[in-house]
Amino acid sequence: MAKAELTILHLFPELLNLYGDTGNMLVLEKRLAWRGMQAHIIPVSLGQSIDLSSADIVFVGGGSDREQGIVGEELVKHTADFKAYAKDGGVLLAVCGGYQLLGHEYSLGENKLSGLGLLDIYTVRKTPRLIGNIACTTELFSQDVVGYENHGGRTYLGSDVTPFARVLHGFGNDGASGFEGARANRVIGTYIHGPLLPKNPELADWLLSQALERKGLDPVLSPLDDTAEKRANEYAAKLS
Amino acid sequence: MSFKTTLARVAARSARFILSRVLKREGAQLPGRIALAIDARFVEHMAGFLGQGVLVTCGTNGKTTTNNIVADALQKAGFSVVCNRSGANMAPGVAACLLDAKGCDWAVLEVDELSCKTLLEQLKPRAMLLLNLFRDQLDRAGEIDTIQAVLAEALTKTPETVLVCNADDPMSYNVALLSGVPCVFFGVEEEVASAQERVPEARFCQVCGEALTYRFRTYAQLGDYNCPRGDFSRPALQYGVTRICLESQGFSCAISGPDDTLFLSVGFGGLYMVYNVAGAYALSRLAGASDEAFVVAVQEYAPQNGRLQKYEIDGRDIVLNLAKNPTGFNQNISLMEVDAREKVAYFVINDNYNDGRDISWIYDVDFERLNDEQGLICFVGGTRALDMVVRLKYAGITSEVANNVSEVLAAAPDARPVYVLTNYSALWPKKAELDEMQKHHARDVCKKEAERG
């Protein structure tokens, strides 16, 4: 029997890879491989077609405001496809700048970037930037979700979306609401930037499992030895 | 000298005397802080006493080594020089260095990129060397765009400064364009045979945003680039490097300047060092050093500052080097590759303020290349050792946590060379430990020889 395979679209890695975002692709690939499955990772460059019909997981990284502007313009051309993908239960993870582009719009002073509108959120750039280690908790996972955030945008949630997690320490969406990120069905956006998945193996496995389920494959993943990941997670959860 | 400056100088010198003679500490910062507290324009006032003026070295990677080579070359050429050799490159470090400026010909100073904002207009450098701009410490320094803007603006306030610029780096060249100061360009003239990084960083035209195309690349975003739309391309080189041959311990090359061609054999560093040396040569020549002085400076250069510093302890070669961002780390991995021996690696990553608190960048380092190393044994350390274990795990490499070099040596098989690569704040503790070990080792060897004799 052929190996089970998931197709993972990595959108615009050449523009949205500000903080080691490709680490996330590495984690998805390895955690499939360690279970005898295969990741087919497709880096999608600017100007290339985005084939969401064959995608099992889509990842959008973070970039500077300038790069995000370029990407945003490109993305909104595909709004209908992305909306259909999300409606069909497609798995999508976006971090930092990518998260902001999932919302209705991102206001940068006088400029406004239109987003995909996959999540009922909007973002406004303010000062100061919210920078530092962050830990938050979600009922999806037993361990805290940990990492680093660095964003000028404040993101506000509408009524059709739930927060991805609740902030234990750090800033999260706006530094005030106590919410971090947003989730609707299998679409997750978060300000925890760069290599989010290495220290959050439960989130990595959740994405894989959801994608397998949507594809009609067995969503139950065999356990892995995550001692190293868990220790790094616990250490990071204590960083302020 | 004004009363304020005199007072600042006396107070700071006294502090330095107490620090170094009484407390046996290196006074690279505190005396400078004292001087600046008394005279806020201390740097400007002291720079005015130099016979020739100020030379500045700037850029993300390679400042300390390059700046020290320039200082050495000028000294060999007969100039008197002050230099912030240990790499204290923000305002207090620069001020402390200038305590001794009076009566000297040159101050050869490395200056932190963001600190150029306030320091350049005070120093009014005769020339500034810009080595490269890579992503580094994004949480502290911001994105490269920010640094480019700071440097360009600082330079517009010192319009007479000659910018010695790495033409192969599109990010640095853009600073040259934005600043409008007179420029001297250095770079590599021909393609170099070397292991390429797995994912070369894509770079974009600094004018229109189109992806740059390259006639060849050397490393990271460096190379002979041009924009397909024709609005941005590498400028002609005044100092062009050819005939580069990378060896297990250093490299040889030829640098063609406006006057002559210099053939060099350098006993340390890899491809990144070719650029450092070419930049140092261009700057030294501008400041009046001869080829002969420069060659002697390079040949005698023995790093004592934790930058590619070599130790021999118990018959084992140990190399200590700074690796504080993806590009620096990738260049260090290239250095390990040209050393064919089976080896031990010790990666030490801290997340203190001056390292950048965010260590996401370890996922931009091509640790995957280490899989080609036969029999490599890996240790990790520093405040983020556990993150490094995970990073290496996903690169397919097993590692163990070690708290210091002694633990590594105790756990690793004899005789294998050890590469200790650390980021900024981890460097000095490891250097202190290695210096101490070497001192003890030397003492033991003397004792044994005395017993034998």
DSSP per-residue codes, B326-348: HHHHHHHHHHHHH--S--EEEEE
Cβ(B166)–Cβ(B184) below 8 Å: no
Q: Which of B202, B364, B390 sits opposite A229 (nearest CB)?
A: B390
Which residue, chain included where needed, has tokens 């590692």?
Answer: B399
Tell me how far apart the alpha carbons of residues A118 and A92 are, in angstroms, rounded to a whole number: 10
Contact A195 B202 (CB under 8 A): no
Size of interface A-B (CB pairs under 8 A): 79
CATH-assigned architecture of domain B50-300: 3-Layer(aba) Sandwich (3.40)
Structure tokens that stand for A73 in this block: 């313009």
Q: pLDDT tens digit string along B323-359?
A: 989 989 999 999 999 889 999 999 999 999 888 899 9
Q: Per the CB < 8 Å rule, is A70 touching B209? A: yes
Residues of chain A with pLDDT under 50: none
Are residues B423 and B350 in contact, defined by beta-carbon separation less than 8 angstroms? yes
In the predicted model, is pLDDT for residue B248 greater than 60?
A: yes
* pLDDT of amino acid A5: 96
Global ipTM: 0.97
Domain of A189 in residue numbering reads as 5-237
A221 close to B (CB below 8 A): no
CB contact under 8 A, B358 and A19: yes
Nearest to B358 among A66, A148, A232 (CB): A148
For residue B386, the chain A residues in CB contact (below 8 A) are 228, 231-232, 235
- Compute the nearest-CA separation of B376 from chain A (Å): 20
CB contact under 8 A, A19 and B202: no
Please tell me which of the candidates B138, B211, B391 has its beta carbon nearest to residue A150. B138
Strand partners, A183: A162, A188
Residues of A in contact with B139 (CB under 8 A): 131, 148, 150
Structure token pair of residue A75:
């993305």
Is B309-452 in CATH node 3.40.1360.10? no
Mean pLDDT throughout B379-396? 98
Lowest mean pLDDT among B93-97, B296-300, B353-357: B353-357
Lowest average pLDDT, out of A67-71, B97-101, B279-283, goes to A67-71
What CATH number has the domain bearing residue A210? 3.40.50.880
- Angle between helix B30-38 and helix B3-17 axes, rounded to 10 deg: 160
One-letter identity of residue B382: G
Residues of B in contact with A131 (CB under 8 A): 139, 357-358
Does the bond joining A128 to the residue before it have cis omega, within 30 degrees of 0? yes
CB of B361 less than 8 A from some CB of A: yes
Contacts (Cβ under 8 Å, ≥6 apart) of B410: none
Torsion B119-B121-B124-B129 (CA) sign: positive
| Percentage of residues in chain B having pLDDT higher than 90 | 76
CA–CA distance, A90 with B337 (Å, rounded to integer): 43
Q: Which residues of A are catalytic?
A: 96, 193
> Which A residues, 146 through 165, put their C-beta within 8 Å of a C-beta on chain B?
148, 150
Of the partner residues B199, B357, B389, the one whose CB lies closest to the CB of residue A228? B389
Q: Do A133 and B357 touch (CB under 8 A)?
A: yes
pLDDT digit string (tens) for B180-223?
999 999 999 999 876 565 555 667 888 888 889 999 999 989 99
Strands B213-217 and A38-44: what pairing? unpaired
Q: Which of A19, A133, A228 lies closest to B393 in CB terms? A: A228
As a three-state string, the secondary structure of B189-238 is CCCCCCCCCCCCCCCECCCCCCECEEEEECCCCCEEEECCCCCCECCCCC
Whole-model pTM: value is 0.87
Region of poorest pLDDT, from A158-162, B18-22, B151-155, B360-364 = B18-22
pLDDT of B136 over the 60 cut:
yes
Report how many helices (DSSP H) and strands (DSSP E) chain A contains, helices first.
6, 12
Specify the pLDDT at position A3: 82
Q: How far is B349 from chain A (nearest CA, A)?
A: 13
- For residues A46 and A220, the answer to whether their CB atoms sit within 8 Å is no
Q: What is the dihedral of CA A119, A120, A124, A126, to 10 degrees?
A: -80
Partners of B362 on chain A (C-beta within 8 Å) are 20, 195
Nearest CA in chain B to A234: B386
| Tens-digit pLDDT profile for residues B8-56 | 999 999 999 888 877 767 667 889 999 999 999 999 999 999 999 999 9
User: Can you tell me which residue has the tokens 């001192």?
Assistant: B439
Instruction: Give residue-wise pLDDT tens across range B225-247.
Output: 999 999 999 999 999 999 999 98
B102 has a pLDDT exceeding 90: yes
How many domains does chain A contain in total?
Answer: 1
pLDDT of residue B197: 59
C-alpha B302/C-alpha B266 separation (Å) is 11
